Structure 1
Amino acid sequence: MIGLSETRKRKLISWILSKQNEDGGFAFPHPLPSMPSATFYAVSSLKILQAEVPNKNKTIKYLLNLQSANGKYHGIYTAYFSIKALSYFNLLPKNPAGAIKDILEYIARWKKISKYYMQVESPLETICYSVEILTLLGYRKGLSEISKLVLKFFNDDGGFGIRNNSEIITTYFALFTLHLIGYSLENSKKTINFIKKCQNKDYGFASAPRTYSHFIEDTYYGIKSLELFNEKIDKPKQTFKFILKCQNEDGGFNRSLAGGCSTLENCFYAVSILDSLSKYKIR
């Protein structure tokens, strides 16, 4: 991975590990109880950094115990973060069949919801998580039908979002869902155009075209969206410098040059972006 000196890398790993609890899970802010999302962000960041997860068996036990005996989870986010984190250890949940049933029921509920309700709340993020879970668990039956649900949010500008308001984040979730189910857009150039219009003139990505902002999460989703089309960003060197400047003295990352506290989520975005930028020739 480029860009992080050994000193920066050690400080980052040390900061991440300082958020681990006795039960093996991770929390933010620490020392709150362990959280599925925090544990996922920590485990995935450590994997990219090629660092070991301490007390690995405890971490695995914590993740496995997030599933109820009947296979259900306390919500789609808990299911996604725990199953995705387990996949980094090459493990499945204790009851895969129960998890699949739970996720399919969740998707079925969205299919029945009125299109008017969908103008208030977009299911693109949670549908994406649901499809990725099913893929991780080896279930693919009928997933191609989900394209109909996703395409309800396709807008004239080539992006995806509710009320014709396309954003880079919702566009990524839509595109990654379609990628997982093997669906190709009829006019991918239009969507690539939309994504590239979200790029700031100086560095990174904004949340939408003609919106001037520099947040680490928008840059993450912008880069990952272009990767789905094997496209590259315009300002890799400047974006690389932006990410480095988001690293705090404690070793963690905040979300912008305006400063702020380090979070495990921002660390995940940062190391993922740096990993993607390692494919560029940056000097």
Structure 2
Amino acid sequence: MISMKKAEVEEFVLSHQTEDGGFAFCNPLPASTPETFYAIYILQNLGLDIPKENRVINYIEEKIRNARSSISIYYLLKSNEILEFNLKNRDTLKEHLIKKLNGVMKRKVSKVSYEMGVTSTYSFELPSLLEEIFSISESLRILDFSIKDDIYSSVERLINGQQIAENLKDTYYIISVMKDRNDMNEVLHSIKKYEAPKGGYSKTPDSFPPYLEDTFYALSSFDIAGQKIKNEKTSNFILKLQNKDGGFRRSLYGGISTLEDSYYAIASLRIIGKV
């Protein structure tokens, strides 16, 4: 049986912490809001202490005062959701996010076809718009504020009646935002086509190889739908991705460890009951 090396994961995560309390992609780069969230999530879900927690909170508070990107705000609020410190500018954030959503609703949609050669990476504008709407929706949820009708109409304009996108990442964003309106059975049936024979999920249906990020998006989609996943093949696939430095890579075919991939690994293992 393959097992996760928990102490090595902790060492890997802590090696990315910077003097200001945040976490970076790698040293000597400065801390970033996504990496800081990934690190906090990993440590919390493994039952580990967050070192220099006061510095971490100060870092997040400073960043959130000046945050303008809806995606940055999302990561900062997700970090706050774990650390549970008092936010001082909730109303300002709500107003800013609503303005951001209004801007997204007015933006022209230009979809990039996968038939044009974009097969193993994500399409451009459609995912970026979906990710932005997802980030705004989740951020407003954390702030206990809902404008579901506006968010629904924004997504419906993008997906043009489709419940399934051309990749698992976009599908995850759609069902996260539209879960009250989607036919989950149809969505889950489509997602299962991405499962690789030996575990994990791939970029396209009935294909190989599986990737960690696609596995995370598939499992997260099942989780949103309330479907319990107990899959030894997929858990073994994820555990095989742990590198000697304790972090996780995205593919069985080598690669560096990143906090992002390590987050995908721990979050996926949590969903299938292995963490």
Distance in 1 of aligned mates of 2:64 and 2:184: 38
The question of 1:49 aligning with 2:46 is answered yes
Q: For the Cα contact (< 8 Å) 2:39–2:263, is it kept in 1? A: yes
* CA positional deviation for 1:245: 0.9
The question of 1:248 aligning with 2:240 is answered no
When normalised by structure 1's length, the TM-score is: 0.86
Q: How large is the Cα RMSD of the aligned pairs?
A: 2.2
Report the equivalent of 1:268: 263
The question of 1:26 aligning with 2:30 is answered no
Residues 255 and 279 of structure 1: CA distance in aligned 2, closer, same or farther (over 3 Å): closer
Amino acid at match of 1:268: Y
* CA positional deviation for 1:67: 2.5
Distance in 2 of aligned mates of 1:114 and 1:245: 42
* CA positional deviation for 1:156: 7.4
The question of 1:149 aligning with 2:154 is answered yes
* CA positional deviation for 1:143: 2.1
Residues 155 and 258 of structure 1: CA distance in aligned 2, closer, same or farther (over 3 Å): farther
Selected match of 1:89 from 63, 80, 83: 83
Which whole-Å deviations, capped at 9, do the CAs of 1:244-283 have from their partners, x for residues lacking one?
1100011111111111111000110111111112179xxx
When normalised by structure 2's length, the TM-score is: 0.88
Structure 2: runs of 5+ lacking an equivalent = 113-123
Structure 1: runs of 5+ lacking an equivalent = 161-165
Which whole-Å deviations, capped at 9, do the CAs of 1:35-76 have from their partners, x for residues lacking one?
1111010001111111111000000000000133xxx51312
Distance in 2 of aligned mates of 1:244 and 1:223: 15
Q: For the Cα contact (< 8 Å) 2:195–2:206, is it kept in 1? A: no
Distance in 2 of aligned mates of 1:266 and 1:205: 14
Distance in 1 of aligned mates of 2:257 and 2:197: 26
Q: For the Cα contact (< 8 Å) 1:77–1:126, is it kept in 2? A: yes
Selected match of 1:139 from 131, 135, 145: 145
Between the aligned residues of both structures, percent identity stands at: 30
The question of 1:128 aligning with 2:125 is answered no
Structure 1 runs (4+) greater than 3 angstroms displaced: 2-5, 117-120, 152-158
Q: For the Cα contact (< 8 Å) 1:3–1:274, is it kept in 2? A: no
Which whole-Å deviations, capped at 9, do the CAs of 1:68-125 have from their partners, x for residues lacking one?
3xxx51312221111110111112433111111111111001111234x366612111
User: Secondary structure of 2:50's match?
Assistant: coil
